[in-house]
Amino acid sequence: MQIDLRTVNITPRRQTFDHLAWRFGDKPASRYQEGSYDIQAEENLHYRPTWDPDQQIYDKAISKIVMADWHALKDPRQYYYNTWTIARARQQETTEANFSFIESRGLADSMSAALKATTLEVLIPLRHAAWGANMNNSFICGYGYAAIFTQACMFQAMDNLGIAQYLSRLGLLLGDTAALDAGKAAWVDGAAWQPLRRYIEDSLMVRDPFELFVAQNAALDGLLYPLVYGRIVDDFLSPQGASAVAMLTQFMSDWSVETQKWVDAVLKTAAAESEHNRALLCDWTKAWSARAASALLPVAALALGGDATAVVDEEMAAFKTRLAKTGIQL
Amino acid sequence: MDMKTDKKKLGLKEKYKLLTRDLGWETTYHTADEVFPYVKYEGIKVHDWGKWEDPFRLTMDAYWKYQAEKERKYYAIIDAHAQNNGHLHITDARYLSALKLFVQAISPGEYAAGKGFARLGREFPGVGPRVACQMQAIDEIRHAQTQIHAMSNYNKFYNGFHAFADARDRMWYCSLPRSFFDDALSAGPFEFMIAIGFSFEYVLTNLLFVPFMSGAAYNGDMATVTFGFSAQSDEARHMTLGLECIKFMLEQDPDNLPIVQRWIDKWFWRGFRILGVVGTMMDYMLPKRVMSWREAFEIYGAGNGGALFNDLARYGVRLPLEWNDAVKALDHMTHQLNLGLYQWSFGTAFHTGIPSDEDMAWLSKKYPDTFDKYYRPRWEHIKKLKEAGTPFVNTGLAKLCQVCQIPTPYTEPDDPTALCLRESEYKGELYHFCSDGCQRIFHDEPEKYIQAVLPMPQLFQPPLGGDIGAWMNWVGLKNGVDNGDYDGSEDQKNFAAWRATATSNQ
Amino acid sequence: MSTVFIALQANEETRPIIDAIVRDNPAAVVNREPAMVKIDAPGRLTIRRQTVEEELGRPYDLQELQVNLITISGHVDEDEDSFSLHWNS
C-alpha cells in the first residue's frame, strides 16, 4: 500500500525523550544530544567487577576528578558516531588522494637521500607512540564516565590508530618495510627514543582515566603534534624539498588542531567545576608536560640538532598559553 | 596507476600485519603483567598472542570509507522517514510495542557491549584482538545511537518510548538484559569475549536481528529495517571475532577447554533467556509475521549453532549443557512469556493484547503440538474475562529468578503444566530460580549472583513501600497511557485517526 | 556437511555479487527474503573478486562487501582475490 501522507500535518505528542526534556526542555533534540546524554546505565548496577571488586561497573570514583554531572563534558565538535565517521571519511579521501598523487608522480624519489633519512628517522618510530595513544584512549573510554565524554575518547583512539597506520604507509612509501623495521628498532633501543617510550609505558600504568586524558591528550599530544608536524615537517623539512611529506601528514596537522578544541573544552569545564579539580589538573598538567617536553627534546634534535632546545621551549610556552585559556596555569 | 615497480607489492594479509600487529612492542620499563593486569586471573593460558588470526583485515582508512557509506545511506532513510510521516506506513501501531521493548531493553545493551569492548581494546596483550575489539567498541556505540535515532520520530507521536533511559535502570523487565550485560561487564576479559563475542554475537545475534528486521520489513517499518540491517553489517565482523577468539583460546592450551566450556554453558543459557523476549516480539507483537520464533530458531539457532558446535567438536567442545532444555522450551516459552506480560501489563511501558482469531490461527499452525492444547484455552478464558468487563490483571509479586531475573513464568522442560521453580539456600538466605540452568549458574559463582538487584522486591521496600503510583513515577511510566492493553489505547486511537486523515480528503 | 551462509541486503549493489556467487558456487541455494537475500551452501562458499568484477563491469575491492553484508555463518578467510566461508566438519 502506497499512500501519500505528506499533506498531513500531525501535531507531535512530545518533542523529545524525557531525559532530554529534563535537561533542555521539551523541544526537538539534536542527534548529538540524543546519542550522547544519559545512554550509559547509572543505577542498579548488578554486580561488582571480578577484575576489581573495589570498583563499580561504571564508576565515577575511579578518577580523582569530581563532577556533579559528567555530562557537562560535552564535545564542541558535537561528534557522535555519524558525524565523526563522515568527517574522517572526508579527510581520508584527501589523504588517499595525496598518497596517490605522490606515488603516481614518484615525488618521494625526488627527495634527497639525507632528507628522506631524516624524515624516516623522526616520523616512523612515532607510529608506536600513536599506538600507545590508541591504548590510552581506549582505556579512557573503557573506564571513564558518561558516554558524552567517553565516546569522544574512543573516536580519539581510532584516530590514533589511523595516524599510526598513515605513518606506516608513509614509511612503506619512502623506505619500504626496512623503514618500518628500522623505526621499530629505534623505538625499542635507540637512545633518542627511550625517554618518549618510557613516557608512554609509564602512562600505560595510569589507571585514573582523567589523569590519563591529561597525560596523553593534553600534555604529550599537545606538544608532540605542533612540534613534529608544525615545526619539524612544515617549517624545517618542507622548505628543504620535503613538501611531499607535508602532504602525507596533512591529516595529522588538521587533526591536531581539531582535537585540541575538544581537549581544551573538556579541561576548561572540568577545571571550572571546582578548585579541587583545578588544582589537580594544574598538578597533572605541570608534571606530565614537563616530562613530555624533555622526552621530545632528543626526538626534535634528530631533525633540528642544536636548535631543538629553543624550539621545544617555544612550544612549551605556546602550550602554557593555550592551557591558561582553559583556566589551568602552569 | 602504480608507476613504481621496484617495491614489492604487499598482499592484504601482509600489509594488514604491518599496519596493525607491527605497531606493538614488548614493554621493558614495565612488565607485561603490569601493563595487562586483568588477563591472567581467569585461568586462561595464552602462550603466543602472535598466533591470533585476524579474520577481517580492516585498516582505519577502509573502516572510515565503508562505515561512512553505511551511515549516509542510513540517515538518508531516517530523514525521509521523519519527513514523510513514515510512521503511518506501518501495518498497525501495535507493532510499535516491539520497538518500545527494543529501545528500552536492547539498545542499552549495545552501549554496554561497546564499553566492554573498549576495555578489552586496552586489556588484551595481543595487538590483533585489541584492534578488533576497539572497532567493535565504536560499532556498538554506533548501534546504540542509530537505534535511538530511529526511535526518535516514533517517540514524538507514540507513547512508551519517552522514558527509555529510566526504564533501562529501573524497569523490572529491563533488569533481564541489564543483568546479562552487567554480568558480562563484571567478568574478566576472556569471559566477556565468550559472553558477548561468542554467545551473544555468534549464537544469538542472528536470531535477534535477522528475523526481527525481516519482520520490520513486513510491517512497513523502514526506519527499523534500515538500522537493523545496517547494524548487522557490523555484526558479521563481530561474530567472526567471537568465533576467532574461542578458537584461539582452545588452540593455545588444552587446560583452557573446561573453562571455556563452562562459559559456553553459562552464556548459552543466559542468552537463551534473553531471547525469550525476542521470540515473544516475533510471535505476538508483529501484526504481520515473517516467521515464528520456532522457525527462526531452527534456521539460526539449531542450524547455525549446530554447525558451529560440530566444528568446535574437534577441540573437545560439546553442545551447551542446557541445549536440550532450550529445544524443549521452543514450543512453549513465547506463549508463556506473553501470558505473563499480558497479566502484568499494568507495569509495562508497552502495550500487550489478546491475540485475534487470525493471530491464534497462525499460532496454532506454527505451534501445532502446543498452542491449541495449552495456550489457546487460556487466551479464550482471558478474552471472556475482558468481554465481561473484568480483565485479568495480576498485581501479585512474582518470584524473580536470582540469575536471569525472569519472573519465573516457565514450565518444567518435560511437563508444560507444572511451573518450573528451583530454590537454593546460600549462607542462610533462600534464592529462587526459573530453571536448572540458572540454578547451576548461581552455584558456580554464588558470591556474584547474591549481589543481583531484584526489581520486584525493590517495589515493596522503602522508599516505594509497595505504592504502585510512586513506582510508576519512578520508572517513568504514565498510567493509562504507556501501559495496558493496546485495544483502547491512545496509540491505537491516534494511529487510526491519523491514518484516516491521511487517506481521505477530510 | 554443515551449511555455511551469507546474507546480503537486497539492492542494486548486491545483485551482481549474488550473480557472481551463483556462478562460482554451483551448489549454492539462493533464498530471497524480505529486504535480504540469503545464500546457503554445503561446507564452503567462495566469492571471487574477478567474477564480481566481470558481473559489475568495474574494479571491485572485496572489502566493499562490508556495506551490504547482513550476516554470515562459517569461518572467514579473506584476501584481495577471494572471500570464503567454510566449516571444518
Are chains C and A in touch, 3+ Cβ pairs below 8 Å?
no
Q: Which CATH architecture has domain A74-324?
A: Orthogonal Bundle (1.10)
Q: How far apart are the first and last CA of chain A?
A: 67
Say if residues B120 and B197 touch (Cβ distance below 8 Å): no
Task: Indicate the residue type of A261.
Answer: K
What burial letters (b/e) apply to A137-170, b meaning 16+ CB within 10 Å?
bbbbbbbbbbbbbbbbbbbbbbbbbbbbbbbbbb
* Distance of alpha carbon C54 from alpha carbon C31, whole angstroms: 23
Supply angle C-alpha B439, B198, B448, rounded to 5.
35
For domain C3-86, give the CATH superfamily.
Monooxygenase component MmoB/DmpM (3.90.56.10)
For C55-86, give the DSSP string: HHTS---GGGHHHHEEEEESEEEE-SSEEEEE
Residues 6+ apart with CB under 8 A from B400: B406, B407, B408, B432, B454, B455, B456, B457
Instruction: Average the pLDDT over C45-70 and give the result.
Output: 94
Q: What are the helix (H) ranges across B10-158?
A: 12-19, 32-35, 60-83, 96-101, 107-123, 127-157
**Residue A226's pLDDT band (boundaries 50, 70, 90)?**
very high
Query: What is the pLDDT, as a whole number, of residue B180?
Result: 96
Confidence of residue C40 (pLDDT cuts 50, 70, 90): very high
Write down the pLDDT at residue B2.
40
pLDDT string in tens for chain B (506-residue length): 344 444 667 888 899 999 999 999 999 999 999 999 999 999 999 999 999 988 788 999 999 999 999 999 999 999 999 988 899 999 999 999 999 999 999 999 999 999 999 999 999 999 999 999 999 999 999 999 999 999 999 999 999 999 999 999 999 999 999 999 999 999 999 999 999 988 888 777 787 777 778 888 888 888 888 888 888 888 888 988 998 999 999 999 999 999 999 999 999 999 999 888 889 988 999 888 888 999 999 888 888 888 889 999 999 999 999 999 999 999 999 999 999 999 889 899 999 999 999 999 999 999 999 999 999 999 999 999 999 988 887 766 678 899 999 887 899 999 999 999 999 999 999 999 999 999 999 999 999 999 998 877 777 787 788 888 999 999 999 999 999 999 999 999 999 999 988 877 65
Largest CA distance in chain C: 36
Read off the C-alpha cell for B254.
588444552
Nearest to A5 among B63, B75, B88 (CB): B88
Contacts (Cβ under 8 Å, ≥6 apart) of A65 = A208, A210, A270, A277, A280, A281
DSSP structure class, residue A77: T
Domains for chain B: give ranges and CATH numbers: 34-353+467-503 (1.10.620.20)
Query: Which residues of chain B are within 8 Å of residue A124 when distances are taken between CB atoms?
Result: none
Question: Which residues 40-59 of chain A have a CB within 8 Å of chain B?
Answer: 40-52, 57-58
First to last CA, chain B: 63
What grid cell was written down for B295? 522457525
Q: What is the rounded end-to-end Cα distance, in angstroms, of chain C?
A: 6
**Pair B16, B59: CB distance under 8 Å:** yes
- DSSP-assigned letter for residue A232: I
CB–CB contact B162 A17 (8 Å)? yes
Task: Identify the three-state secondary structure at position B462.
Answer: coil
* Rounded Cα distance, B431 and B422, in Å: 8
Residues of B in contact with C80 (CB under 8 A): 11-12
Contact at CB, A17 and B161, closer than 8 angstroms: yes
Scanning A140-199 for CB atoms below 8 A from B yields 141-143, 147, 150-151, 154-155, 157-158, 161-162, 164-165, 168-169, 172, 176-177, 180, 184, 187-188, 197-198
Residue C49 predicted with pLDDT over 90:
yes
Q: How many helices (H) and strands (E) does chain C have?
A: 3, 7
pLDDT at A199 over 60: yes
Distance of residue B396 Cα from the nearest chain C Cα, in angstroms: 42
Measured torsion, CA atoms of residues B102, B103, B106, B111, in degrees rounded to the nearest 10: 160
> CB-CB: which of A50, A96, A180 is closest to B61?
A96
B203/chain C closest Cα distance in angstroms: 10
**Can you tell me the mean pLDDT for C18-43?**
93
CB contact under 8 A, B236 and C69: yes
Whether residue B137 and residue A141 make contact (CB cut-off 8 A), yes or no, is yes
The pLDDT of residue A2: 47
User: CA A95, A98, A100 angle in degrees (round to 5)?
Assistant: 110
Mean pLDDT, residues A36-48 taken together: 95
As a whole number of angstroms, the distance between CA B104 and CA C6 comes to 30
Distance of alpha carbon B272 from alpha carbon A283, whole angstroms: 50
pLDDT at A303: 97
How many angstroms separate the CA of residue B75 from the nearest CA in chain C? 14
Q: How many angstroms away from the CA of A302 is the closest CA of chain B?
A: 21
List, in order, residues 6 or more apart from B191 with CB less than 8 Å away: B42, B184, B263
Separation between Cα atoms, residue A52 and residue B17, nearest integer Å: 33
Q: Residues of B156-165 as b/e, b for ≥16 C-beta within 10 angstroms?
A: bbbbbbbbbb
Residues of B in Cβ contact (< 8 Å) with C10: none
Instruction: State percent of chain A over pLDDT 70.
Output: 98
Structure confidence by residue, pLDDT tens digits, A104-132: 999 888 899 999 999 999 999 999 999 99
C63 to chain B nearest CA, in Å?
Answer: 8
Q: Number of residue pairs across A and B with CB atoms under 8 Å?
A: 278
Q: DSSP secondary-structure letter at B54?
A: P
3-state secondary structure of B197: helix
pTM across the whole model: 0.95
Strands C29-33 and C36-42: antiparallel
Mean pLDDT of chain A: 96
Distance CA B89, CA B287 (A): 13
Q: pLDDT tens-digit profile of A232-285?
A: 999 999 999 999 999 999 999 999 999 999 999 999 999 999 999 999 999 999
Question: C23 to chain B nearest CA, in Å?
Answer: 23
Surface-to-core class of residue B399, CB atoms within 10 Å of its CB (0-12 exposed, 13-18 middle, 19+ buried): middle
Closest CA to B89 of C36, A1, C35: A1
Q: Output the pLDDT for position A201.
A: 98
- The helices-and-strands tally (H runs, E runs) of chain A is 13, 0
Nearest to A264 by CA among A182, A328, A329: A328
* B89/A19 touch (CB, cutoff 8 Å), yes or no: no
Which of A12, A78, A32, A62 is closest to A213 using CA atoms? Answer: A62
Cβ–Cβ below 8 Å for A46 and B451: yes
Spell out which residues of chain A touch residue B163, defining contact as CB-CB under 8 Å. Answer: 17-19
Closest partner residue to B236 among C71, C75, C87, by Cβ? C71
Q: Domain-by-domain residue ranges, chain C?
A: 3-86
H or E segment to which residue B124 belongs:
none
Chain B residues with a Cβ under 8 Å from any Cβ in chain C? 11-13, 55-58, 62, 66, 69-70, 205-206, 209-210, 213-214, 217-218, 225, 229, 232-233, 235-237, 239-240, 243, 290, 303-304, 306-308, 310-311, 313-314
Using a CB-CB distance cutoff of 8 angstroms, which residues of chain A are in contact with residue B158? 13
Q: Which residue does chain C place closest to B68, by CA atoms? A: C67
So what's the pLDDT on residue B294? 93
Residue from the list C2, C34, C74 with its beta carbon closest to the beta carbon of B218: C34
Number of other CB atoms surrounding residue A26 within 10 Å: 14
Chain C contacts of B214, Cβ < 8 Å? 33-36
d(CA A233, CA A226): 10
H or E segment at B414? none
Rounded mean pLDDT, C47-68: 94
Strands C44-48 and B415-419: unpaired
Model pLDDT, residue B8: 62
